[in-house]
């Protein structure tokens, strides 16, 4: 399995393409592609590596994570998924954009809601879901046990955590999600790929993250 990171849009949000290099089956996690340049760069990368996008998944409904959904759904003709508890944010993406001076293309309908226990097949691998509310009510992380990787959205960052002052955010809920849904079940050597900034590991954050001491 391979991970390609595209930091995109004015928020420098990490959009990930996670794919199986044997079968070419891939998924886009948080398609925040904003400019034509960003969109073309993604399309070229997928063409070059013969990647067929099977799923588009939003870790949550904030503007920087969803603003390229219309582009991605149209371009790759793949179903898009989000947790139902963040639908209110997803549906308000255009309004969220106004607050930041960013024009958002009308959001496409959601193909399905994600529930914990769901999984997405990519080649022989299985990407599973865990619900991690706190940064937003419907925040989720995606993980692949075979590769020991977790795509954690804005739940946790290297030496930081997601903000909790946006609608539906809650500080205690977020810390509880990190402790019981990430730190507890996953070994220290799992890699964490967050929605902003560089990747880290469960072990490094357990030892060093100032919010979780």
Q: Is the dihedral of CA 185, 86, 79, 162 positive or negative?
A: negative
Contact between 154 and Zn ion per CB under 5 A: yes
Q: Shortest distance, CB of residue 162 to Zn ion, whole angstroms?
A: 6
Among 8, 46, 62, 104, binds Zn ion (CB under 5 A): 62
Contact present, 127 and 79 (Cβ < 8 Å): no
Residue 170 makes CB contacts below 8 A (sequence gap 6+) with 133, 134, 164
70-78 long-range contacts, Cβ below 8 Å, gap at least 24? 70/105, 70/106, 70/107, 70/108, 71/31, 71/33, 71/39, 71/105, 72/28, 72/31, 72/33, 73/108, 74/108, 75/39, 75/43, 76/28, 76/46, 78/28, 78/53, 78/54
Stretch that binds Zn ion, among 79-87, 95-103, 153-161, 183-191 (CB under 5 A): 153-161
- Using the minimum distance from each CB to Zn ion, give the nearer residue, 54 or 62: 62
Contact between 83 and Zn ion per CB under 5 A: no
- Using the minimum distance from each CB to Zn ion, give the nearer residue, 25 or 154: 154
Contact present, 147 and 192 (Cβ < 8 Å): no
Stretch that binds Zn ion, among 3-11, 45-53, 57-65, 117-125 (CB under 5 A): 57-65
Stretch that binds Zn ion, among 71-79, 102-110, 114-122, 147-155 (CB under 5 A): 147-155
Q: Shortest distance, CB of residue 60 to Zn ion, whole angstroms?
A: 6
- Using the minimum distance from each CB to Zn ion, give the nearer residue, 167 or 185: 167
- Using the minimum distance from each CB to Zn ion, give the nearer residue, 62 or 181: 62
- Using the minimum distance from each CB to Zn ion, give the nearer residue, 26 or 169: 169
Other Cβ atoms closer than 10 A to 212 = 15
Stretch that binds Zn ion, among 59-67, 90-98, 114-122, 205-213 (CB under 5 A): 59-67
For tokens 């954009």, name the residue: 97
Q: Give residues in contact with Zn ion (CB under 5 A).
A: 62, 154
């Amino acid at each position: 399995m391979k991970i390609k990171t595209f930091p995109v849009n004015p928020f420098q949000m990490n959009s990930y393409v996670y794919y199986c290099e044997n079968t070419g089956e891939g998924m886009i996690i948080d398609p925040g592609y904003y400019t034509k340049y960003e969109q073309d760069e993604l399309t070229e990368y997928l063409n070059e590596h013969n990647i067929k996008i099977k799923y588009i998944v939003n870790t949550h409904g904030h503007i920087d994570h969803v603003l390229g959904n219309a582009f991605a759904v149209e371009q790759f003709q793949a179903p898009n998924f989000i947790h139902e508890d963040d639908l209110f944010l997803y549906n308000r993406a255009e309004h969220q954009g106004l607050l930041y001076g960013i024009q958002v293309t009308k959001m496409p309908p959601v193909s399905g809601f994600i529930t914990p226990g769901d999984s997405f097949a990519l080649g022989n691998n299985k990407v599973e879901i865990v619900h991690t509310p706190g940064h937003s009510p419907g925040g989720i992380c995606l993980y692949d046990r075979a590769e020991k990787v977790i795509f954690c959205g804005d739940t946790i960052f290297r030496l930081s955590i997601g903000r909790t002052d946006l609608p539906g955010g809650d500080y205690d809920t977020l810390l509880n999600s990190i402790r019981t849904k990430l730190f507890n079940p996953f070994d220290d050597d799992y890699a964490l790929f967050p929605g902003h900034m560089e990747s880290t590991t469960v072990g490094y954050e357990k030892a060093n993250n100032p919010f979780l001491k």
